[in-house]
Every structure is written in C-alpha cells, then in structure tokens.
Structure 1
C-alpha cells in the first residue's frame, strides 16, 4: 500500500519550457475498478490547467497601437498512455487543444489487461506546447486483493459570464462536485474576495451537509467588480473544507476566473476656435475637445465634421485613456459671415467593440468690419455730451 501511495504522488516532468504554462491530473478512474486478466476496460484521467497570468498582444493602426489582453491557457499537443503490460485499444492522442481556467477535461483510454494478476502502473504522458509536460502513473488493479485508498475529491466549476465590466455586479453560479470515490461530509465553502477588485455581494460562505461520490450542489453568487479594476484576468479565491468518514478535516482551494474588460465612454467637453472670434474670409482652426469618462481605454479615436467650408474635416486623435481628454483639430479656410449648423461624428474602439458618438453643433462667423472703433466713437460722443451738460449747468449756477 505504501508503494502505491508513493507512486501516486509522483509527477515527473518531461520537458520544462515555461513554468507559467502547465496542467495537472486532477483525478483518474478505472472501470471496472478491478480488471480480470485479459479483460477490457477504460482508464479516464481528468486534466486541469494550473496556469495563471495574462499575455498582451499589440496591433498597429497607423500611429495608433491597439493592445489586447488575454489569459494564458495551456495547449495540449498529445495525451498518450504508455505501458509495456497493457494493450491500448483506443484513446491515444485523441485529445489536442487548449484547456481554459476552471475547465476539467476528461481523457479516456480503452485498455486490455495483461494475463498475469497484479498491480500495474501505466503512465499517462501529457505534452504541453511551450510549457511543462508531465508523466503521471495510474494504479490499475488486475485481479488482486489490494485496493487503492478511497477518498473524496472536491472540484469547483462556475458559470459567471465572460467578459465582465468594471463597476458592475455580476451574477453567476458555482458548482461544488465530489469527483472522489467516497462521501464528503460537513463541507464549508468560503468565497474569499480580493478587495477592492472583486468582493461578494451578499452571501460569501455556505455549508453543505454531505456530498456523495459523483454528486454536486449549486449556489447562486453575486460579485461586485470595482470600477477601477484594470483589464485582464482576475481570480476570486474559493476555499473549501470537508470531513472524511473518520472525522479528519481536509482543506482544498479553487478560484473563479473573471475576464475584466474596461468600457470607454466618449463625450464632448468643449468646442472652440482659434482665433476665438472667426472673421469672414479668414482661415481658422476648429477644436473639439473629446473626453473619455469610461473605465477602459478608447482606441482608434477619430472625428469628422460636415461643415460646408473647405479644409480638413477629418481628425485622427488616437488613444484616450480613461479619465483623460484630447483635442480633435480641424484646419478650415475662410467663409462668409453667418451661423453654420453642422454634424460631428466620433468613432472609437474598446474591448467591447466599435462605438459612435454623434452631435449637432453650430459655428458662428461674425459680421465683417471691426466694431471696436465704432464702440470707442460712441463712448467719446457720450463723454463729450456729458461734459457739455455739466459745463452748461455750472455756468447757469454762476449766473
């Protein structure tokens, strides 16, 4: 029995390319549990990702650079069962692809037992592209009185939406499953939020009296995502404890993975011209200041105006981070005096897609001539009239 447990604990790396990308064998099952010599059966291993972190890719649009953040997920090249004693009838290299976070992937092999009774340890070889591959021995009982230690094994799955927005409350369900071979009792589940990034809204812990082998229990859960959370993968830790039949308390852990993506929100804060007073026939700059009041970066921001005036009617702004603003400048030629109603369209891209803001505005071109000299002349006339009135009044008083 000691030899069996030692072998069960052994996981031997084949290739170590990057410690950030790896998988584990979370569980295994042989059916039937005890094979007869020459009998056919199945061996199933459940793979899970233990990868955490993100990777960022950049794409250039002229002078603008768009960045996309995605979670790192292991890519399985092959899953092979190696044994000099068992005949593998099917299942070798049948699985290839990515394993996402909190995604258990069962891989099943059809096997034929050897003719001699005994305990055997065929090895499952898992090759991970650009990551740490592994070799895992699985005990298989062929017609012996020995048995492998039977224990519970809790697993966690969730149905939270992906992606989610900062500053929102998300609703989802977590499922606690017993994938082991015996019952687990007095199960306590604690959702340990990571303030202020993500915290439970309401219930954060609950208890399950018991879970038999193959059984599961679901609980609804709400999480609050802080509005200042940066885009990327965040993990909400979940701690689980349960009791064995002899009263021993076992602790296990899992996590709820959330793909947070900020949403930009564009608005116009001001419209001005240079010079501030536009005169007929003189060129000028129209400046529309654009602000991002959202939670994510706005990329590829551009603006257009449909003014009936010659000049540059398109302006490329580029990127505007959350909380910042930037000007859209249009260099225009002179035109006649009057009021010009025009339509401006601002387009931008964020992690949720392409958006458009449209606004109707008015440009005023003042009448020709400089009215400042006329104002000064009027003031002089009024001053001279007041002075004459004061002089005549004093003269009458003296007489």
Structure 2
C-alpha cells in the first residue's frame, strides 16, 4: 500500500525535470510579429488623412538588425517619407516597439478596400528572418453630381414655343450615387413640362456621365426676359444618406413682333382724279414682342409723302402711318405697302399688295346732274300728288 501511494509523488518531479531539460536544450528563437493597434478613421474619405499605429512584438530571443518597411497602395500616400524604411536596431526578447504612420488618401481614390503591406526583416541565430503583414483600409468615396454641356435645341425661344434642354449629368466625386432623381423645377416660372419632369437613375458611378433632356413649353403672354431654370439633383451617398445639389440653366425668352395693316382710311373717301389725298394706314402689332424702328413705305405712282416712321410699337398696340399725295390718275391703282421693323429675333419686312380706286373727273361730273334730276323728279311727283289729293 505504501509503495502504491508513493508513485504519484515520484512522477511529478520527473515530469518537471524533463520539461526543464527540454526548455534548456530547445534553441531560443526570435519571432517578430506586427500587431495593428490603431487605424483611424475607418472608413476614410478620399482627400482625408489616416492615422495608423502598430507594434512590433518579439518572441523569446533577441532580434538584431530589425528593419521595418511600409508599402502602401498607390492611392495611400505616406506623408513622411522618412518612415518608409525604419531601422529598429535590436529588440530584446519579449520586447516591443511602437510606430505611428500619418497617411493621406488620394483625392481621386474611388470607394473600395485598399491594402498597406509591412515587411520586417531581422537576424537571429545568425540567420535572416522575414515576415510580411497586410492591413486593409476601407475608403468610402463621396459622390458629387454636376451638369455640363448644356444645349438648347432652339436658336430663339418666344412665348408659345416648345424647346428642349439637353445636358450631361456627371459624377465628379469619388463615391457611387444611388437612387438619383433629376428634376427641372418650373414652379413659379412661365414654363410647362411637355413630358416627364423627373429622370430616375439607379446608380451613377464615379467618372460616369449620362445625357439627359427636358422638353418645355413657354406659356402664352410670357414676359420677355431671361429666366433661370433650376435643375435639382437628389441622391443617396454610399452610407445611404440623402444628398442634394442644384444647378441652373439660363433661358432667354425673345420677343416676336408681328406687324400688319389694321385698316386703311382715305380722305376724301372716294378720291377723284386730281384730288389731294390723305391716306392713313393703322399698323397693328399682334405679336408678343416690341417692334422697334418700324416704318412704312408706299410704292404708289403718285407724287407726295410716301414714307412714314412709326418708331416703337408694343404688343397689342398700333400706330398710324400718314401719307399725302395727289391722285394724278383714275381707275384701280395698285400699290404696295412695305412694313419694316426689328424685334428680338432680328430685322423683318412685311409687304402687302393693295389698290386705290380713283374716280375719273368726267364720270364724277355726270353724277351731280343725275342726282339733281332724280331729286327734282321726286319733288315734282310729291307736289303733284298732294295737289291731286286736295282737289278730290
């Protein structure tokens, strides 16, 4: 019984002794490891700085000639080039060394995962040892939408005109824009959408562009002026946050004058050959813009004043053109009235072919005696009828 009870007490010292012997005969080995202690901020935006801290941790033997080198992705810039290769010298067994790196993310970097590689070399037991350690950096870009290459399909736009606005929508940022809504805001403006006033784009990647267009109608009676049409851009960034921006498209509404002859009045009303005649042409503007430098020329085979300067005629207004001449010939005299004016669209000429009836002198001389005979006959019949009634 006593022999059996002594066996466990004998085994414990033996095991301990064996362990000590193995530790003494096992070769000491320096094993370095690179431990990441800080990486901030994460995720990081393009154009921002990034702080990285690490620790070199040694094993159970001294490490000599320790060299630490960093090799970041090209989009990650090391702000201090002296930190690219660091000579750490000697690290004692179970010793540690801390290093801090200040990095910068390239402004042009897109969203994604980038790598920073560390390489460590050292001497231990007269042998060269090396390890590589890689850490990942998450870059989260910021989308930035803008419009460019704006064109309007009509060279000139006036009230009641239809026109197209075409532009290029681009993502000039570094992040993906999602659920993009582009709208032309016409509220409070003299424009009416002739189609969909909102365009939907599911995803717009960095450096991606897409052509969009909006068709609009100019309201009637629109004030002639310049207008700015807001183009609203609503979207979500990579974190799901709602973002918005706005650009403007300038549109000039031009006045379009329309001149014509409203009526013609002559004095005398039925001119006779040889009469001095005063003719008045009333020129009306039925357009939506001012007519400037308006004038009327008469091409009629009579001597007299045949040009009238009217100046400015506003929309829904008119102006008289007065001409004086001698009716030197009788008959239906053809003539042309030429109206010249300017508006926002340029210079214009309108011609109207007309005729003036001039009575002959002889024919007009017969009319009066004939009228006198008719009147005398009427008086005679009236007088004779009365006398006859009295006698009865």
The verdict on how the C-alpha distance between 1:181 and 1:305 changes in structure 2, with shifts beyond 3 A counting, is same
> What residue is the counterpart of 2:381 in the other structure?
385
The structural deviation recorded for 1:256 is 2.2
The structural deviation recorded for 1:116 is 7.2
Residue 146 of structure 1 pairs with residue 104 of structure 2? yes
Q: Indicate conservation of the 8 Å contact 2:171/2:206, yes or no.
A: yes
- Whole-Å separation in 2 of the counterparts to 1:325 and 1:366: 30
Pick the aligned partner of 2:332 from 319, 335, 339.
Answer: 339
The structural deviation recorded for 1:205 is 1.2
Residue 193 of structure 1 pairs with residue 198 of structure 2? no
Q: Indicate conservation of the 8 Å contact 1:174/1:221, yes or no.
A: no
RMSD (Å), alpha carbons: 3.2
Q: Indicate conservation of the 8 Å contact 2:166/2:213, yes or no.
A: yes
Note the residue ranges of structure 1 that are not aligned, 5 or more in a row. 9-31, 38-114, 119-142
Deviations 1:305-347 (A, max 9, x none): 1211111112211111111111111121353443311112111
Deviations 1:110-158 (A, max 9, x none): xxxxx9789xxxxxxxxxxxxxxxxxxxxxxxx9612258311101233
Q: Indicate conservation of the 8 Å contact 2:143/2:172, yes or no.
A: yes
* Higher relative helix content: 2
1:222-237 mapped onto 2 (5 Å cutoff)? 222-237=215-230
- Whole-Å separation in 2 of the counterparts to 1:217 and 1:290: 50
Pick the aligned partner of 1:156 from 147, 155, 160.
Answer: 147
The verdict on how the C-alpha distance between 1:218 and 1:286 changes in structure 2, with shifts beyond 3 A counting, is same
- Whole-Å separation in 2 of the counterparts to 1:33 and 1:232: 49
> What residue is the counterpart of 2:122 in the other structure?
none
Deviations 1:165-218 (A, max 9, x none): 221111232432111111111111222103451121121112211100011223
Deviations 1:29-83 (A, max 9, x none): xxx866799xxxxxxxxxxxxxxxxxxxxxxxxxxxxxxxxxxxxxxxxxxxxxx
Note the residue ranges of structure 2 that are not aligned, 5 or more in a row. 1-39, 49-73, 84-100, 108-139
Radius of gyration: which is bigger?
2
The structural deviation recorded for 1:366 is 3.3
The structural deviation recorded for 1:365 is 2.5
State TM-score, norm by structure 2: 0.61
- Whole-Å separation in 2 of the counterparts to 1:375 and 1:275: 19
1:121-270 mapped onto 2 (5 Å cutoff)? 145-147=103-105, 150-157=141-148, 158-161=150-153, 162-195=155-188, 197-270=190-263
The verdict on how the C-alpha distance between 1:144 and 1:229 changes in structure 2, with shifts beyond 3 A counting, is farther
- Whole-Å separation in 1 of the counterparts to 2:385 and 2:278: 49
- Whole-Å separation in 2 of the counterparts to 1:312 and 1:253: 59
- Whole-Å separation in 1 of the counterparts to 2:159 and 2:146: 28
Q: Indicate conservation of the 8 Å contact 1:269/1:290, yes or no.
A: yes
1:1-399 mapped onto 2 (5 Å cutoff)? 145-147=103-105, 150-157=141-148, 158-161=150-153, 162-195=155-188, 197-368=190-361, 371=367, 375=371, 378-392=374-388, 395=391, 398=392
- Whole-Å separation in 1 of the counterparts to 2:198 and 2:177: 17
The verdict on how the C-alpha distance between 1:33 and 1:269 changes in structure 2, with shifts beyond 3 A counting, is farther
> What residue is the counterpart of 2:121 in the other structure?
none
Q: Which has the higher contact order (CA 8 A, sep 6+)?
A: 1
The verdict on how the C-alpha distance between 1:153 and 1:363 changes in structure 2, with shifts beyond 3 A counting, is same
State TM-score, norm by structure 1: 0.60
Q: Indicate conservation of the 8 Å contact 1:194/1:236, yes or no.
A: no
- Whole-Å separation in 1 of the counterparts to 2:290 and 2:186: 25
The structural deviation recorded for 1:372 is 5.9
The structural deviation recorded for 1:279 is 3.7
Deviations 1:70-103 (A, max 9, x none): xxxxxxxxxxxxxxxxxxxxxxxxxxxxxxxxxx
